[in-house]
């Protein structure tokens, strides 16, 4: 049986597209342009396809530039002080004194911050992980002396302090696991306390990193629910799609694949978790291709 537009959702497409476009035009959602939204909407040509598009927009986990800046400040003002206290490294009367030291270019704190990136995992480093740390440093006014690259041998010299890895999304956990293996995090001396701070994290990714690298503490700013996948079924094992509880989840997935195939779009990649996460700069490849793909005859909502 194919996908039907439920009677209770017949006006969904018009309502969702209208509301979403208003948010984009008013720059409440500032990471998508009205032009890209209009072009993207034209990918969906039938009533069923437009219904799917409306659900894709409704499901989108969007973090705007202001939201991300707030997350960066949360890391600097809440997470790092808490980690310093837990590690017995806190020597300040207040958070303001800590931040003053964090802003200092001399790097007096026992703290090193680096991206999940390097030549051992990527011959052309400088990907989104690098930009995440750079943007974090700008938003939190982190002194240059605290910022390190994994390929700098001095970054791994033993010290009694915190080694912080800031990232945008912990999805499957494969990227961080590859990084941790190549740079031998499990072999570092115990006084170097490794902490991984993704802005968002999936339950699957957290589990994988904890299993393989138990010495790495994970402190996500936000955790995505275990049912964050777009095509997830209801919990009663009926096979119904959780988003409308009418269509079968596999029928919705089949419709999605057919739409993408008809536009000459490649299948979902190995890192896809069928998520609907949209972040500034570069949409994660853990999210569905429908949001970011630029190949074939597809117009992306947010190009990577």
Q: Which domain holds residue 54?
A: 7-59+227-292
Residue 288 lies in a domain: yes
Q: In whole angstroms, give the CA distance from residue 128 to residue 223.
A: 20
pLDDT at 176: 95
CATH of the domain at 87: 3.40.50
The residue ranges of the chain whose pLDDT is under 70 are 1, 123-127, 227
Residue 95 lies in a domain: yes
pLDDT at 281: 83
pLDDT at 71: 97
Is-contact 250 232, C-beta < 8 A? no
Which residues in 70-98 are b (16+ Cβ under 10 Å) and which e? ebbebbbbebbbebbeebebeebeeeeeb
pLDDT at 126: 45
Q: Which of 167, 188, 223 is the last residue of a domain?
A: 223
Task: Please state the domain count of the chain.
Answer: 2
pLDDT at 200: 96
Same domain, 180 and 209: yes
Q: In whole angstroms, give the CA distance from residue 259 to residue 280.
A: 26
Q: In whole angstroms, give the CA distance from residue 30 to residue 62.
A: 10
Q: At 248, list the tokens.
A: 């079968």
Q: What is the pLDDT of residues 218-274, one digit of tens each?
A: 999 999 987 679 999 998 888 999 999 999 999 999 999 999 999 999 999 888 999
Residue spans of beta strands (DSSP E) within the chain: 61-62, 111-115, 161-170, 192-201, 217-218, 222-223, 277-278
pLDDT at 125: 47
């Amino acid at each position: 049986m194919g996908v039907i537009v439920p009677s209770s959702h017949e006006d969904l497409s018009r309502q969702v597209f209208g509301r979403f476009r208003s948010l984009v035009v008013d720059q409440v959602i500032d990471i998508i342009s009205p032009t890209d939204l209009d072009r993207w909407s034209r990918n969906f040509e039938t009533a069923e396809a437009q219904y799917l598009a409306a659900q894709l927009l409704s499901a989108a986990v969007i973090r705007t530039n202001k939201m991300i800046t707030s997350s960066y400040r949360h890391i600097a003002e809440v997470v790092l002080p808490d980690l310093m206290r837990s590690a017995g490294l806190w020597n300040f009367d207040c958070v303001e004194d800590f931040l003053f030291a964090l802003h200092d270019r001399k790097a007096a704190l026992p703290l090193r911050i680096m991206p999940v990136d390097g030549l051992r995992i990527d011959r052309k480093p400088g990907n989104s992980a690098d930009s995440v740390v750079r943007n974090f440093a700008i938003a939190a006014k982190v002194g240059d002396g605290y910022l390190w690259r994994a390929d700098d041998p001095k970054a791994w010299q033993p010290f009694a302090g915190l080694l912080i890895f800031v990232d945008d999304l912990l999805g499957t956990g494969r990227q961080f696991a590859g990084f941790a293996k190549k740079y031998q995090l499990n072999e570092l001396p115990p006084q170097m306390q490794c902490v991984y701070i993704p802005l968002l994290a999936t339950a699957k990714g957290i589990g994988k990193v904890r299993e393989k690298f138990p010495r790495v503490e994970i402190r996500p700013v936000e955790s995505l629910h275990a049912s964050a996948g777009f095509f997830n079924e209801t919990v009663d094992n009926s096979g119904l799609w959780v988003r409308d509880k009418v269509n079968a989840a596999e029928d919705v997935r089949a419709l999605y694949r057919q739409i993408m195939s008809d536009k000459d779009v490649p299948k979902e990649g190995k890192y896809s978790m069928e998520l609907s996460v949209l972040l500034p700069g570069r949409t994660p490849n853990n999210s569905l291709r429908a949001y970011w793909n630029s190949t074939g005859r597809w117009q992306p909502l947010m190009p990577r």
